[in-house]
Amino acid sequence: MRFGFITGLILLLIMPKVIRYIGTIDDNYQDPEAVQQTYLTDALDAVLAGNDPEPDFTKAIGCTIKVKK
């Protein structure tokens, strides 16, 4: 599946609208084979186990999504 935009920012929301993680998916957006830290997977695992993600924020590399008016 292909989308018309690319952004590296992920928000993990738990209802009722509680942000549990903000950031990048992993530590290497260029080479999937070189990933050392799986931030999103780790955050999901922590939340599903009833814990707080650590870290709960990472800096995402990406660009803004522009909307035509």
| Residue 2, helix vs strand vs coil | coil
Query: Which range has highest mean pLDDT (2-11, 24-33, 37-46)?
Result: 37-46
Structure pTM? Answer: 0.72
**Parallel/antiparallel/unpaired status of strands 18-23 and 10-14:** antiparallel
What is the arithmetic mean of pLDDT over 4-16? 71
Residue where the block lists tokens 């780790």: 42
Cα gap 59→66, rounded to integer Å = 20
More confident site: 10 or 45:
45
Domain ranges of the chain: 7-69
Residue 7 has pLDDT above 80, yes or no: no
Cα gap 69→53, rounded to integer Å = 37
What is the arithmetic mean of pLDDT over 31-53? 93
